[in-house]
Chain A
């Protein structure tokens, strides 16, 4: 078989013409094996990443346009190795991305896009191999070439076919089924899903382009694996000592399953507050969460970063708490005050104006422009990588959905009290609150909106200057409905209500599909089990009274032992539990979730375990340490030897201590452990799996980066902050990580993704220091050898079932 002309630099039209002639001649000459001629375009998207600067004036949003690749090498991939080999018919695309090519036998057509190719005239940002299925090539006649496109989406169809991924069982993952699945996932017509994006318009084009950007990144990563000759996982399994190098088809699968975490379209992370595992499990105040845990999947050994809230949410945004150990406002310690003169430090906020009461429309803002702490710990984190910037750089959207914000408020401030907004107390009839015998709550109690239902300390994006300065920041912080005061929120007297204000943007977005890939769903401080003081006047008595289910310390202190609850600390658990059920129902009945071509997941988690000690007999203690990226080294008040590591120079793989972060050794000490539930919409996904390996917020942040294809496991610096602290990373940097020296359990101390991608050795014995069950076994409150409800035994060897909770198939 004669190659088409390799005509680098030749005029495109000549290429096509000569190819057509050659094809015609060949067609005439070869009578038996009908040659296949295709003409088409290598097309995709040109994505200009956002600029995430500290100063909003220097930040820009990303842009995406339909594009074609010129100078890409196109060939029939006869041996399906994802490369244009010398014996395979190939050509280069023209300036408009077009090509024509003939082969004696049909095969997948692929386009090798090197960095010398151009994408809409600009050098291609990364090497990339795109493919289109042979099954999609329908020759009309030898003289009329089949028309095809080679795009990231056609590549995805090939990958899906090779992985048997398509909805429905009829015929399996045929070309038609895979194409239909992809179309259904994106909500576009199958007839256009594989078209040149430039030829599609409107919402369909937008959806295709968005997908194209994500796939371009994933397949770029696949090409990178091939280029650096990563070992083939399949080959490793057969021949671990001498594996062959990975090739494109396998690499494109791995790129969709980084560290065992499959790609999901959307994740909803429902954040709850301050409950230990032992407070929730088997509690009559948490029947819905317990039922969800029983029916779905659970990580049973999950740890927080610290105590109180803000360090945990900060860590959930970027895998570190940066020495923040309190709940103070995000601009704290960005000024110095000497003799009454306030001077901004280098960390002073750049997202000016600050949202204080002098800002337009914020006459009642509670924000203070000067906040000083002791010890001094900068709360405005500058220039660090984080999930939000990573998402937008990867062409993905993020959201925080926040309940009970004041209409018209700035998301950078806490919500405030509003007497014009009122709600009746929640009344629980007998038998509706952990078997209550008498009603709980007062039907005659009216509660005005209290301050602080929305708190910036509970917003995982808030600490980061680069996120607050990003163009999408304001529009990405949205409202969440279902709150006690929603019905009268628009009666507000404190801020002017923006036109068209929607108190439940979350509900609307679920309907329209305008959700983020990463969605933090953040209930207010009553619905998240946190508790604040909510009081009003009871018209029956004329006296002040507090809400039935938002008071107390929120410990669940007598959870499980109290048939007639009078303890508001327990009641708020029931309230939060009901709200979780509301959110789960809302998500699960949405079109997004019902579309099983989309991969959707819900996480139900707590910012921290909260209680580490429980004074009531019969209850259990929770672990006081943490794991997986924590700082186990010191809790001295002036730690001088523990620092975050930064790559210097960037891209070098060399890490040095960043000594500018204050109070660092006091942060990231951990708290544990707490509930972590995973629900997915995938019908064949594992259910009722409990993974007992230890994970932390840092593990979760790493998992999210894998899930959304934002990082490369071979490049530590591609993971944000402490989420890069794998065993091998720590080992390589141990001299700069004194907190890990002398570790008795390096697996426990290190970060890993929440899959079983990194298998625990069979001889492993978890040495989590404050293990409850062993210590409590044999006490008067726990039977010898047994575990009290909610305690977690230390793990011996790998997790028993080794089932990946995030897997899409059994």
Chain B
């Protein structure tokens, strides 16, 4: 019955048609684009009681011995929670005359950081397990509550004598009642518990407040198939450079893909690498000969010599908002993004650009003692190619890469970008403000 079969296949094809009609009209209703950004910005829960306390603490200068430093002094909400200034290290201490030892990181996008492990599974699902995770540039804090203690008590930062001093400052603050409401009427009678709660409050603020993880860059529109997320040719080329193992190879550590636990697009794999950043003579601590900041093996729980294999390794930061940074790498020696990329590109081909000479000889890796140089990462572009050889990236590649990295800056507004013809039109993320009481 060939004729009959033909009819039936026509039926099957036509079934297709019914649905297509229904769907095509539906698709038009999918484009409330303006609403989408507004929705994202508006849609987050009110902060918990603990987070409200944490917010007050975050902006409270009375939590420093000098009375001049709050968390926000270095972690400025208007600069992606990184410093507003271009100092490699920030001033602090009792009279604000001491200096930090490492550049201040952004506090954004820390939500998925696992606790440090010497053999952390790499979220890319491919790379071998290695040192990764944890807070601060050497991973010594397991979470943000632990991390908070470090600046609060460091003599060259907020310089409180101890936790009780911090609690006393909170007790004297205008938000002391909120602290009691959040943690118990008798909480100030138990200073140890109170300090633990204070650290939890700072953690809760960073965990809960939208401004710590807005995911509002052009890249986010791109990665989520959103209107306004179409890359320019330069951005597309730059993304290719970013991922090309033979050129930028940035993605090897600044992993952009989906990882574990639902995270994606964090631009870090939480790993640690030693890359031989030149010594920063501007850091007061570095005036002492023989002093080296050795990263992981500077930690008390990773003593030498047993942990020599970790020396010189620092944490891979996220590259989100990297174009808003003014200093780069753990010691802030590099002062611009282009210079940072140049360092990756020419550290090996033109070491004289980066390291000082002594007796006419370039002193490569001058901030890492020779016995630890086996720890240096050997992945491209830092693959040890010969001096004088061709750098992996061309100038065009670097221009493109910077164009791509610009898409990682938060608060991108595609409507404004269209209007002003810029790729980097910004809109302001609602910032947490210092509560009334602490102003």
Residues of B within 8 A of A231 (CB): 18
Contact A611 B125 (CB under 8 A): yes
Residue from A742, A761, A776 in contact with B24 in the complex, judged by beta carbons closer than 8 Å = A761
Chain B residues with CB under 8 A of A779: 240, 244, 246-247
Residues of A whose CB lies within 8 Å of any CB of B are 162-164, 172-173, 230-231, 233-237, 240, 250, 253-254, 257, 259-260, 274, 306-308, 325-326, 553, 555, 557, 610-617, 621, 624-625, 632-638, 640-641, 663, 666-667, 669-671, 713, 726-728, 730-732, 734, 738, 740-749, 755-759, 761, 767-770, 774-776, 778-781, 809
- Least Cβ–Cβ distance between B154 and chain A, in angstroms: 27
- Nearest residue (CB) in B for A767 is B225
Known: A172-B1, A624-B257. A726 touches B23 (CB 8 A): yes
Q: Within 8 Å CB of A632, what residues of B?
A: 223-226
Residue of A nearest to B19 (CB): A758
Interface of A is mostly: loop
Stretch binding the partner chain, chosen from B4-12, B80-88, B156-164, B292-300: B4-12
Q: Which of B11, B125, B249 contacts A233 (CB 8 A)?
A: B11
Q: Does B32 contact A (CB under 8 A)?
A: yes
Min CB–CB distance A207 → chain B (angstroms): 27
B240: which A residues are within 8 A, CB to CB? 775-776, 778-779
A669 x B20 contact (CB < 8 A): no
Q: With A and B bound together, what is the CA distance between A667 and B246 in angstroms?
A: 33
- 19 sampled A-B residue pairs with Cβ under 8 A: A172-B1, A306-B262, A553-B125, A557-B126, A612-B258, A625-B258, A632-B225, A632-B226, A633-B40, A637-B112, A638-B207, A728-B23, A734-B29, A734-B32, A741-B32, A744-B221, A745-B225, A770-B223, A775-B239
The answer for the CA separation of A730 and B30 in the assembled complex, in Å, is 8
* Top 7 closest pairs, chain A to chain B, by CB: A637-B111, A742-B36, A666-B262, A612-B257, A233-B14, A624-B257, A728-B26
Is the CB–CB distance between A741 and B35 below 8 Å? yes
Asked if A164 and B257 make an inter-chain contact with CB atoms under 8 angstroms apart, the answer reads: no
**Known contacts A666-B262, A732-B26, A740-B30, A769 near B210 by CB under 8 Å:** no
Chain B residues within 8 Å of A172, by CB: 1
Q: Using a Cβ–Cβ cut-off of 8 Å, how many residues does chain B contribute to the interface with A?
A: 85
Cβ A250 vs Cβ B225 within 8 A: no
Q: Across the interface, do A742 and B32 meet the contact criterion of CB distance under 8 Å?
A: yes
Query: How many angstroms from the CA of A38 to the CA of B258 in the assembled complex?
Result: 67
Please give, as numbers and ranges, the residues of chain B lying within 8 Å of A612 by CB-CB distance.
124-125, 257-258
Residues of A within 8 A of B224 (CB): 625, 632-633, 769
A276 CB to nearest chain B CB (Å): 9
Given contacts A274-B125, A621-B243, contact A757 B30 (CB under 8 A): no
Residues of B close to A236: CB separation below 8 A = 14, 17-18
**Which A residues are CB-close (under 8 A) to B351?**
none
User: Is the beta-carbon distance between B10 and A625 smaller than 8 angstroms?
Assistant: no
Taking CB atoms, residues of chain A closer than 8 Å to B230 are: 744, 767
Residues from chain B with a CB closer than 8 A to the CB of A274 are 125
- The answer on a CB contact under 8 Å between B260 and A326 is yes
Would you list which residues of chain B between 192 and 251 have a CB under 8 Å from chain A? 207-208, 210, 213, 215, 221-230, 236-237, 239-240, 243-247, 249, 251
Q: With A172-B1, A617-B380, A809-B5 given, can you name 5 additional A-B contacts, CB distance below 8 Å? A: A615-B127, A617-B245, A728-B26, A742-B33, A770-B257
The residues in B between 287 and 344 inclusive whose CB is less than 8 angstroms from any CB of A are: none
Are the CB atoms of B128 and A553 closer together than 8 Å? yes
Q: Which of B32, B223, B228 contacts A624 (CB 8 A)?
A: B223
CA distance A347 to B16 in the complex (A): 41
Name, among B40, B247, B255, the residue most crowded by chain A CB atoms within 10 Å (CB to CB).
B40
Q: Which residue of B lies closest to A374 (CB)?
A: B143
Q: Are A738 and B257 in touch, CB under 8 angstroms?
A: no
Question: Mask for B263-289, Cβ within 8 A of A = 1, else 0?
Answer: 111000000000000000000000000
CA distance A274 to B229 in the complex (A): 29
- Tell me the bound Cα distance from A230 to B15 in angstroms: 11
Report A-chain residues with C-beta under 8 Å of the C-beta of B181. none
A304 to B251, CA, bound (A): 21
Assess whether A617 is in contact with B246, with CB atoms less than 8 Å apart.
yes
Chain A nearest CB from B41 CB (Å) reads 11
